[in-house]
Amino acid sequence: MTRLSSYPWHICGVGAIGSLWASALTTHGSTVTLLLKGKTQLAQYQAAGGVNVLSDDVHTCIHPKAFIPHSPPTEKIKHLLVCCKSYATLDAILPWRQHLAHDAQIMLLQNGMGSAQELQRALPKANIYCATSTDGAWRKGPFDVVRAGHGETFIGIFSDHLLDAEIPASIQSLLQASQDSDDHKHKPPAPILNISWHTDIRTPMWHKLAVNSVINALTAIYQCPNGELINHPQGWPRLQQLCIETQDVMARVGIVPLGQGLLNTALRILQKTALNKSSMLQDCQAGSPTEIEAINGYIIEQGALYHLPCAGHKQVCEDLRRICAS
């Protein structure tokens, strides 16, 4: 088996999930390099003393090299993991454009949809892969992350020109490392990533998008943790309507429905994560931009192709924009 260290990864977007992956990849032998936004974030990284991750009561601290656009790495970027917010994708990647190898593999691990299409238009020859994950993590502070739950990550091809290509060796090594971690009987010293290849990555991406679209914005609108939506007099009926609209759009675009149905799946997740705050609620409370356009906005765009009004999703977008602007 080829060791992970044969495939160095650059990570752009070192928030909760980016930090989790940086820690896991480093501990499993890969050379990780952080691509930061600028001097302010670099100072935060230096003040934090590295990337700190608490997973299953095990604390790890790694110290990968970090660069900013004005002081870039000398080596070419061959494997790029992008974990930034979907709306920031182009602004995050384009400053590093001249440092990308001509055959670089770019893997997007983000909420929402639409950013891959935008990136492919900007870089037509780019080799783009998409990943979607149900791992949970939250930030205590810059480069200080707590893992909130173990999930599964699917990786698949996005770029049309890659459809007949084999799984690249760098991603095969991630799949193998995940399998090796599953085979270990002892408790690992670092976060484990449960990674699988998916031949139609669009399906799990849509399934995650669907769940996020009926939960996240409503928790931000009503300023409540996930579980409170279940008995919310206004929120629960709106969630039910969003489920109907989302399933209609998914059927039109040819996506296999969730096995238990979207409403039952959303209810199960709300019960399981009752005390959690959605990322959209956290962004709203922090005064940061939200990913509403890449989630509910994307469903509205897809519905419009089939003349579906998506009135519930449009109202959610309007409500959230008003709240965030106030």
What is the model's pTM? 0.93
Q: Between residues 140 and 180, which one has the greater pLDDT?
A: 140
Structural domain tally of the chain? 2
Edge-to-edge strands, sheet with 65-67: 65-67, 32-35, 9-12, 77-82, 100-109, 127-133, 153-157, 195-197
Q: Which CATH number do you get for residue 22?
A: 3.40.50.720
pLDDT at residue 185 greater than cutoff 50: no
Domain boundary among 145, 172, 199: 199
The 10s digit of each residue's pLDDT in 122-154 is 999 999 999 999 998 888 999 999 998 888 999
- What integer is the mean pLDDT of 87-113? 96
pLDDT at residue 1 greater than cutoff 60: no
What is the span of the domain harbouring residue 238?
203-325
Range with top average pLDDT, 19-28, 104-113, 174-183: 104-113
Kindly state whether residues 244 and 262 are assigned to the same domain.
Answer: yes
Q: Between residues 54 and 27, which one has the greater pLDDT?
A: 54
Kindly state whether residues 49 and 138 are assigned to the same domain.
Answer: yes
Kindly state whether residues 47 and 171 are assigned to the same domain.
Answer: yes
Kindly state whether residues 83 and 136 are assigned to the same domain.
Answer: yes
Kindly state whether residues 125 and 218 are assigned to the same domain.
Answer: no
Kindly state whether residues 314 and 261 are assigned to the same domain.
Answer: yes
Q: What is the reported pLDDT for 216?
A: 97
pLDDT at residue 187 greater than cutoff 60: no
- Are 284 and 323 spatial neighbours (Cβ–Cβ below 8 Å)? yes
Question: Is residue 66 classed as helix, strand or coil in its secondary structure?
Answer: strand
pLDDT at residue 2 greater than cutoff 50: no
Kindly state whether residues 192 and 218 are assigned to the same domain.
Answer: no
- As beta bridge partners, residue 127 has 105
Active-site residue (options: 37, 208, 272, 314):
208
Question: Is residue 132 classed as helix, strand or coil in its secondary structure?
Answer: strand
The closest of 95, 99, 98, 89 to 121, measured between CA atoms, is 89
The closest of 2, 5, 8 to 77, measured between CA atoms, is 8
- What integer is the mean pLDDT of 258-264? 95
| DSSP H/E element including 22 | helix 16-27
Kindly state whether residues 109 and 189 are assigned to the same domain.
Answer: yes
Percent of the chain whose pLDDT exceeds 90: 83
Q: What is the reported pLDDT for 170?
A: 93
pLDDT at residue 204 greater than cutoff 90: yes
Q: What is the reported pLDDT for 29?
A: 86
Kindly state whether residues 181 and 228 are assigned to the same domain.
Answer: no
- As beta bridge partners, residue 11 has 34, 81
pLDDT at residue 119 greater than cutoff 70: yes
Kindly state whether residues 183 and 243 are assigned to the same domain.
Answer: no
pLDDT grade for 186, boundaries at 50, 70 and 90: very low
Report d(CA 316, CA 219) in Å as an integer.
Answer: 11
Domain boundary among 199, 230, 257: 199
Mean pLDDT score across all residues of the chain: 93
Kindly state whether residues 137 and 218 are assigned to the same domain.
Answer: no
Catalytic (active site) residue 76: no
Q: Per mean pLDDT, which range of 2-16, 19-33, 82-96, 123-137 is the poorest?
A: 2-16
- What integer is the mean pLDDT of 227-255? 98
Kindly state whether residues 208 and 132 are assigned to the same domain.
Answer: no
pLDDT grade for 278, boundaries at 50, 70 and 90: very high
Domain boundary among 149, 168, 199: 199
- What integer is the mean pLDDT of 50-54? 96
